């Protein structure tokens, strides 16, 4: 209890460790239901499983349920393997990200099943060389890079590969989200071999992200998004706009490539693509198509 009184952000924490493995077949249940009723901006909630400043670690064969906030977080870690995690929380549980990666380098996430109320996987500033393979996601907010650049801050994310994923019923598919007014970059990113099943916003870049009650004012600077590949992404969209690339008006998105992308409506209607302030190259068959911008 004394440790909890000193640190009310972390429930189970591994800090400054190296060359170790956490594995098992049991379930870690955060019993977060009572916490979800209160805003995390008012009442501090716990991240269930935290790895901070750890090197050369393997986390495997664990089940997580109903975390008060994020389920598993890696912060300032190097050389990480995450294998066969199962994460489950209700679709309406707030801020219950499945796997959160911040300021971490050389992390491989594979064969994970994530059902939650926020991002299945979230990758934020300081992260480099992140690989997510064979991911099953849904419900949830999809697989996200960001948010980046909040409060006019700098952000750096690079060398991210998401390969072989199935997303079902999520509120976003593969997403890059940045605030106006930030700086830095999100670059060298690949989303490939992904199946979308009734997904809202299957492909989205949102450089006007604003998670506030009051409107966010337009600003001149932005995180620079470049060298992003979307390849072999197919399935159905729950929203009319299946491809939404809303880049910064002041800092255009560069070197965005779509190859063999086919998204249709879940309902009997056409879907659309909206592309703003983006330099886009198409290869193979891409539907729907963006208008020139």
Encode burial over 250-261: b for 16+ CB neighbours within 10 A, e otherwise: ebbbeebbbbbb
Q: Residue 8: what pLDDT?
A: 58
> CB neighbours (10 Å) of residue 54?
24
List beta partners, residue 50: 13, 73
Q: Which residues are catalytic?
A: 141
Domain spans of the chain, in order of start: 25-287
Label residue 26 by pLDDT band (50, 70, 90).
confident
CA distance 109 to 76: 16
Q: Residue 43: what pLDDT?
A: 52
Residues 6+ apart with CB under 8 A from 211: 147
pLDDT higher than threshold 70 for residue 224: yes
The more confident residue out of 219 and 176 is: 176
CATH architecture under which domain 25-287 falls = 3 Solenoid (2.160)
Residue 137 preceded by cis peptide, ω within 30: no
Instruction: Map tokens 């209160």 to a residue.
Output: 38
Q: Residue 142: what pLDDT?
A: 99
List beta partners, residue 200: none
Tens digits of per-residue pLDDT, 196-219?
A: 999 999 999 999 988 776 677 778
């Amino acid at each position: 209890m004394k440790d909890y009184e000193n640190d009310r952000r972390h429930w189970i924490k591994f800090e400054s460790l190296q060359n170790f493995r956490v594995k098992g077949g049991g379930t870690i249940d955060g019993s977060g239901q009572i916490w979800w009723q209160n805003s995390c901006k008012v009442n501090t909630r716990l991240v269930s499983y935290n790895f901070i400043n750890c090197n050369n670690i393997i986390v495997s064969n664990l089940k997580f349920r109903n975390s008060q906030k994020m389920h598993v977080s890696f912060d300032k870690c190097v050389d990480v393997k995450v294998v066969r995690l199962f994460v489950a929380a209700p679709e309406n549980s707030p801020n219950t990200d499945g796997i959160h990666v911040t300021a971490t380098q050389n992390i491989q996430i594979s064969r994970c099943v994530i059902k939650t109320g926020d991002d299945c996987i979230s990758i934020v500033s300081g992260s480099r060389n992140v690989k997510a393979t064979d991911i099953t996601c849904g419900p949830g907010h999809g697989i996200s890079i960001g948010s980046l650049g909040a409060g006019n801050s700098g952000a750096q994310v690079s060398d991210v590969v998401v390969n072989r994923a199935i997303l079902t019923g999520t509120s976003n598919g593969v997403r890059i989200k940045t605030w106006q007014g930030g700086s830095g970059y999100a670059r060298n990113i690949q989303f490939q071999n992904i199946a979308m099943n009734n997904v809202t916003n299957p492909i989205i870049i949102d450089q006007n992200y604003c998670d506030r009650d009051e409107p966010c004012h337009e600003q001149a600077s932005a995180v620079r998004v470049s060298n992003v590949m979307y390849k072999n992404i197919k399935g159905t969209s729950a929203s009319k706009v299946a491809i939404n690339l809303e880049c910064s008006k002041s800092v255009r998105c560069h070197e965005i490539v779509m190859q063999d992308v086919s998204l249709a409506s879940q309902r009997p209607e056409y879907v659309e693509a909206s592309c703003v302030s983006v330099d886009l190259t198409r290869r193979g068959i891409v539907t729907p198509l963006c208008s020139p911008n």
